[in-house]
Amino acid sequence: MNDTPTYLPESGSWLCAACNQPLVAAPVGVTYLQGGFTITLLTCPACGLSLVPEFLAVGKMFEVEQLLEDK
């Protein structure tokens, strides 16, 4: 479907509480400073709310934030 990097939670069976819908993997736009990427996150198919897992936020995202800030 898409070949963007995929970051799904390591555990849990997640629903969007507002829409009561199971989440699906979907491409999501990520931007920071001059950088822009597309990644795949669990997302509510109804309202589009996306889930950023902890390992992504404190790992790869943190790393890329620092790289972009140091450019």
Partner 1 sequence: MDQQGLHDIEYRCIQEEQPACQAACPLHVDVRKVMTLVRVGDLAGARKLLDRTLPLPTVLGRVCDHLCQGPCVRGSIDTSLAMGAVERTIINATGAATKPLAMPGKGKRAAVMGGDVSALTVAWDLGKKGYGVDVYVAGEAVGGHLLGLSELLPAGALAAELEIMGRLNVVFRAGQTLNAALLDRLGGEYDAVYVEMLDANFLSVGREAVDAVTLALLGRDGVFCGGFVTPGQPLSVIALAGEGRKAAVSMDRHMAGVSITASREREGACPTRLFTNTQGVIPLPGVVPADPGAGLTPAEAQAEAARCLECQCLECVKSCTYLAKYKGYPKVYARQIYNNLSIVQGARSYNQMINSCTLCGQCEELCPSGFSMPDLIVAARRDMVSRGKMPLWAHEFVLEDMAFSQSAAFRLVRAAPGEASCSHLFFPGCQLGGDPAASVPAVYAHLRAGLAGGVGLGLACCGAPAWWAGRQELAEAAMAAFRADWEALGQPRVIAACASCQATFARLAPEIPVVSLWRVLLDETGLPQVGVSLPSGPVAGVRLPAGPVAVHDACTGRHDVAGLAAVREILGRIGVAVEELPASGRLASCCGFGGLQANANPELAAATLARRVAESPRDFVATCSMCRDRLAGAGKRTYHLLDLLFPGGSDDPAERPDPGFSYRHEARARLKRQMLETVWHEPQPPETPPALPLVIPDVVRQVMEARHILDTDVARTVARAEATGRKFTDTATGRHLAGFATARVTYWALYELIDGAAHIHAAYSHRMNVSGVDRQEG
Query: Footprint of partner 1 on this chain (CB under 8 A)?
Result: 11-18, 23, 28-32, 41, 43, 48-52, 54, 57-58, 61-62, 64-67, 69-71
Residue that is written with structure tokens 């889930």 in the block? 51
Closest distance to partner 1 from the beta carbon of 10 (Å): 12
CA-wise closest residue to 42 among 10, 1, 11, 7: 7
Nearer to partner 1, 1 or 29 (CB): 29
Minimum CB separation of residue 6 from partner 1 in Å reads 14
* The pair of three-digit structure tokens given for residue 44, joined into one six-digit string: 């509510």
CA 71 → CA 33, 38, 60, 62, distances in Å?
10, 20, 17, 15
> How near is the Cβ of 16 to partner 1 at its closest, in Å?
6
